[in-house]
Structure 1
Amino acid sequence: MEGSTTKDNLPSKPIILQSHNLKKYILETSVYPRETEILKELRNATASHPWSHVAAEPDSGQLIAMLLKLLNAKKTIEVGVFTGYSLLLTALTIPHDGKIIAVDPDRKAYEIGLPFIKKAGVEHKIDFKESPGLLVLDKLIEDAWNKESFDFAFVDADKDNYWNYHERLLKLVKVGGLILYDNTLWSGTVAWPEEDVPRHMRKYWQAALAFNQKLADDSRLEISAVSIGDGLTICRRTR
């Protein structure tokens, strides 16, 4: 009988997990029931945007919120904001006097989420900078007060610059702090041979492969690559 188990309690035939159905189950069982109403409103407002698929995923957001709380994070950086789902989530999670430097060159997308940020009463925590990420990070590094002063960073921006962001964030995030990178599994294609990867995805596929290998080789970190959302790699700075 299909799906029956052997004496070793293993399936006698392979069970194919339908990833879409599994993700739907996780969202409907564990994520959406605990998602705050204001985050749900922003997620729904983002759904009609032509680039809605690049927004931070709510299951990733749930993990990010837990990590922020475990870390007692107060001072954070976000590179890549889009409409601000992860930004709003962070602002709701950190203390009243916490601060987030949020960087994105697309202010129009940020302004979609701004009414929800204001409605939640957390705009005072956010310092939004309309700029490419590297320019802001370099400027922060110039000020000695910023070095090793941040508890947490989240990056969801141009994938071919991830390593450039990484080297700068290691100067800004304190030892013991966390840096999270989104989309590191690139729709699962990092496990595919190149000929199977759609051509329009290959540029960032190659970037993801190179970045993941560099992280694996980086002795300054502890890392955990989590198969959640589109892949979330958690880095803890150790030195």
Structure 2
Amino acid sequence: MSSRTIQVTDTLHRYLLEHSLREPDVLQRLRAETAGMAERNMQISPEQGQFMQMLLRLMGARRCLEVGTFTGYSALAMALALPEDGNVVTCDRSEDYTAVARRYWSEAGVDDRIALMLGPAAESLATLEAREGGGGYDFAFIDADKTGYADYYERCLRLLRPGGLIAVDNTLWDGRVADDDNPGEDTMALRAFNRAVHADERVDLSLVPIGDGLTLARKR
């Protein structure tokens, strides 16, 4: 029994991976390729990807939305957890990074389940809302520019059905959100976002200490 979350040391993290992670080969290889890139820290951890897959399966999710594709690991993890008629709409600005994503989606045989919208995410989300209306998505994952989180959250909330779930990455920000001596723009944006979601009565809330902090907000 413990009254607080256990500290995850490097040794315990290795144990966690050895006794929990069931990462398909295609995801392993995508993660390995991304590890050689300058922006490798933008990729989610494999245990977080597996946790999100569990959430999708528990929800019986069919339609997912993602803000921030990068090299496509999270989109691929989600697509692999969906039924054959499920789909992921993912938004990103980078043609280079998403070209890597497309290769692995095709290799995994789920490229027909993933629709990539290239361009500013706010514009892509506005296009989706204008085209489809609200309430059509089961799950949304936000992992993009931190100063845009508040706007992405509001747009995703409108696109989500009642009972749907928004997952927001990096909300613990390597501990910097709790460090008053850190005035960085991204840190300040995340602090403001965390305060706003904590006070948002439209959702049920849990901030989970997995990866770099994952906020789960269920639309009431």
TM superposition score category, shorter chain reference: over 0.9
**Structure 1 residues 25 and 101, CA gap change in structure 2 (3 angstroms):** same
For residue 18 of structure 1, report the CA deviation from its aligned partner.
6.1
Match of 1:173 among 160, 182, 185: 160
Aligned to 1:19: 9
List, as ranges, runs of 4+ consecutive aligned residues in structure 1 with deviation greater than 2 Å.
16-25
* 1:137 partner amino acid: L
Normalising by structure 2, report the TM-score: 0.94
Normalising by structure 1, report the TM-score: 0.86
Secondary structure, counterpart of 1:129 in structure 2: strand
Aligned to 2:193: 211
Secondary structure, counterpart of 1:141 in structure 2: helix
**Structure 1 residues 134 and 28, CA gap change in structure 2 (3 angstroms):** same
Aligned to 1:222: 204
Q: Which has the larger radius of gyration?
A: 1
Q: Equivalences for 1:51-130 in 2 at 5 Å?
A: 51-130=39-118
**Structure 1 residues 222 and 18, CA gap change in structure 2 (3 angstroms):** closer
For residue 189 of structure 1, report the CA deviation from its aligned partner.
1.4
* 2:148 partner amino acid: N
Q: Which sections of structure 2, spanning at least 5 residues, go unmatched?
A: none
* 2:204 partner amino acid: E
What is the CA–CA distance in structure 2 between the aligned matches of 1:154 and 1:236, rounded to whole Å?
12
Q: Equivalences for 1:1-16 in 2 at 5 Å?
A: none
Match of 2:150 among 141, 147, 163: 163
For residue 188 of structure 1, report the CA deviation from its aligned partner.
1.3
Aligned to 1:139: 127
Same amino acid, percent of matched pairs? 39
Q: Which sections of structure 1, spanning at least 5 residues, go unmatched?
A: 1-8, 11-15
Cα RMSD between the aligned structures? Answer: 1.7
For residue 66 of structure 1, report the CA deviation from its aligned partner.
0.3
For residue 21 of structure 1, report the CA deviation from its aligned partner.
3.4
C-alpha offsets along residues 54-77 of structure 1, whole Å, 9 cap, x if unaligned?
A: 101111111100000011111111
Number of aligned residue pairs: give it.
217
What is the CA–CA distance in structure 2 between the aligned matches of 1:58 and 1:231, rounded to whole Å?
14
C-alpha offsets along residues 99-131 of structure 1, whole Å, 9 cap, x if unaligned?
A: 111100012101112222111100001110111
For residue 17 of structure 1, report the CA deviation from its aligned partner.
4.6
C-alpha offsets along residues 34-55 of structure 1, whole Å, 9 cap, x if unaligned?
A: 1111111111111101101110
* 1:210 partner amino acid: A
What is the CA–CA distance in structure 2 between the aligned matches of 1:58 and 1:90, rounded to whole Å?
12
What is the CA–CA distance in structure 2 between the aligned matches of 1:52 and 1:137, rounded to whole Å?
25
